[in-house]
Each structure stands twice: as structure tokens, then as C-alpha cells.
Amino acid sequence: MALLLTAVPLSRAEIPPLPEPVTNNAVASVQLDDGLHLVSLMGLGSGKTWQDTTLAAWHLAPAAASWRRLPDVPGDEGRLAGVAVGVGEHIYIVGGYTVAADHAEVSVPSVHALDLQSKSYTEKTPMPVPVDDTVALVYRDRYIYLVSGWHDSGNVNLVQLYDTETDSWTQATPWPATPVFGAAGGIVDDTIVICDGVAVRSTRDQRRFVSAPTCRRGVIRADDIRRIDWYSMPHHPGPALYRMAATGARVGDGSVILFAGGSANPYNYDGVGYNGRPSDPSDRVFAWSVQGQRWLRLRRLQQATMDHRGLLPLGQGYAIVGGMRDEQQVTDDVVVFEAVR
């Protein structure tokens, strides 16, 4: 499959910037009768301190000139590293973590469904094991898989499965590699691809957070969606990247799992690496060809970007909403790029 990904300049008339800078924000889209709606939820403001976590929710309706403020995501404290996905006519908002003045971080178990037409939230059954910095995948426009992620004080290898119709949770086949947080991935039909993230390495004296340069392909069994057959696969081109934007996509008559941005130096929420060095964003873009079973090297973004929770399909193109730029600057920009044959 021939595929070229070309970055295109942001058209503010089509996709305006966010009203305020935010990073590590949950993003999602949903198709309603009048077109495609985009949302940005929670995250971290430009100050990048524990006081800058937010529950703010923003909505961009089709053909709207600007993002509009929604009621805040329910909760007592701002949070980041949550995930959001569109299922049916609702946006499901899952997890994340809060940061206290003493820098203590707590994973949040809550799940809410956002109805954009009524601008209201409905509380759902919480996660059995609260996680943040997980990978969320939508299957059959009904189920949500949460792959690995961080729980309070360590990573978990769980794959938690939520049924939006019955509002219930089950456990799926666990993640087969080292548990990670900040990984990225996507799903097309029954195929999942997850890459990278950060693993914990413990010694007698300390714990270290290190890149996990690994990718795994999962195939969901048709007769039991709790069963996932995981397979080793080649690592993507270049170094492991933390908090990439990713999604599953159809391009022409083929399917890909698409990755963009991220950082080669894992970092805390303020953008400073666990090694003490400031992290730099990446402009890399690549995709796994589901049919060809190979990695495709794609043209780089015009703007390097990092600290993302998802990649939003826009018809023929894709949008990265918010995040960090060079020198860990939190941005209100939307990076748009287009896939062409």
C-alpha cells in the first residue's frame, strides 16, 4: 500500500485554536446528525504546576468559529492523563490522576458519559482498578479496552474491558510485555497495535523510569472479546517515544495504526525528564500497515509536538489538539495533517 502523510498548515477558519493552552488533555470526537464534534477535556495549563491541573471541557461543533466551554468534568480536583473516546452519540471520559501540593499523585477511578446535545454528564460504574496514562480503544462502537497504565504507585499489566451498553467491567487477556504508562496505540477492526511507554526499573536503592521500546500486536477473538492473542512485532522506526498521538485509520483500501509526535525522553507532567533534562518534542510520523504487516516511514510534521492522549480523525486528515512544543511550552494550537495516497 502506497501511503504518504503530508503536513498541511492549520486553517484557523476550519479548526480554531483552543481558548487557552492545555497539555496532557483527553481528546475525543463523535459523529452526530449535524457532523463531527470535537472535545478537549481536563489536562494541565501553561503554568505546569499541581495548581494548573484542570477539569475544563471544551467543545468544537461542526462549522463553529470557536471552541465553546462546557460544564467542567465532574470531580473535586483537576486531573490529567485521563482518556476520552467517542462511542455512539456519547463521549466517555475515563480516569486520570490528581496532583497534590506535596506532589502526591492519585489515580482516579471515575467514568462519565458526556452528552453533547444536553451538555450533561452521567456517572458510570467506576474502573475496577483505577488507571491513568492508559491506552483506550473502542471496539464495535460499544466496548472500551484500557491497556496497561499507572495505578497510584506502579504500572499494571491489566487490560480492562468496559461495556457501554451494560455499564459493566470485565478483565481481558493481560498485556504481555512489561507494564507501562504513557504508551500509545490504536485499533482497526479486530487488530490492536500498542507501542512504547515508560516502565519502572527497581533497584535496592531506588526506582527509575525508563523508556520501553517495544510494540505488540493484538487480535481480538471473534467468539470471545475478552480473549486477545498478543504477538511480538518489529519496533517502529527510530527511538521509543513517550505520549505519542495515535489512532487506527483507514487509508484507501487499507488500514493503518498511525502515530505522531511524542518525546524520546520520558518526563514528569512538567515536561522535565526523569533524568533531570528537559524533554524535546518529536516531529516523527509513522504507521503500521495492517495488511502489509510492516512499518511505513511517513513525512514529518511541520511542528514538533508531545504530551498527547489521542489523535483525532477529521475525514481525510487528523488533528492533534494542544500539547507541548519546544522548550516544554504548553500550547493552544491544533496541528492538522492529511493522509494522501
Q: What DSSP line would sit under 305-334, residue for residue?
A: BB--S--EEETTEEEEES-B-GGG-B---E
Cell reading at 36: 463531527
- pLDDT at residue number 75: 96
Cell reading at 122: 452521567
Helix, strand, or coil (residue 327): helix
Cα distances (Å, whole numbers) of residue 231 to 45, 55, 237: 38, 37, 18
Higher pLDDT, 18 or 203: 18
* Structural contact between residues 309 and 26, judged by C-beta atoms closer than 8 angstroms: yes
d(CA 241, CA 197): 7
d(CA 233, CA 231): 6
User: DSSP state, 279?
Assistant: P
Does the structure show a pLDDT above 90 at 202?
Answer: no
Span of 5-14, 138-147, 218-227, 293-302 with lowest mean pLDDT: 5-14
- pLDDT at residue number 6: 41
- pLDDT at residue number 339: 60
Residue 244: which of 201, 294, 155, 180 has the closest Cα? Answer: 180
% of the chain beyond a pLDDT of 70: 95
d(CA 51, CA 111): 23
- pLDDT at residue number 305: 97
- pLDDT at residue number 199: 97
pLDDT range class, residue 151, cuts 50, 70, 90 = very high
User: DSSP state, 182?
Assistant: S
Does the structure show a pLDDT above 60 at 7?
Answer: no
Higher pLDDT, 185 or 338: 185
pLDDT (average), residues 154-183: 98
Higher pLDDT, 10 or 152: 152
pTM: 0.94
- pLDDT at residue number 254: 85
d(CA 155, CA 170): 19
Cell reading at 114: 458526556
Question: How would you classify residue 24: left for phi > 0, otherwise alpha for psi between -120 and 50, otherwise beta?
Answer: left
Full set of structural domains in the chain with CATH: 16-340 (2.120.10.80)
d(CA 218, CA 135): 13
Label residue 72 exposed, middle or buried (CB < 10 Å: 0-12, 13-18, 19+): middle
Cell reading at 330: 504548553
Q: What is the dihedral of CA 326, 281, 197, 83, to 10 degrees?
A: 70
Span of 55-69, 142-156, 165-179, 327-341 with lowest mean pLDDT: 327-341
* Structural contact between residues 39 and 32, judged by C-beta atoms closer than 8 angstroms: no
Higher pLDDT, 249 or 338: 249
pLDDT (average), residues 241-248: 98
* 32: Cβ contacts below 8 Å, ≥ 6 apart: 89, 116, 117
Does the structure show a pLDDT above 80 at 338?
Answer: no
Q: How many CA atoms lie within 13 A of 255 on its CB side?
A: 12
- pLDDT at residue number 203: 75
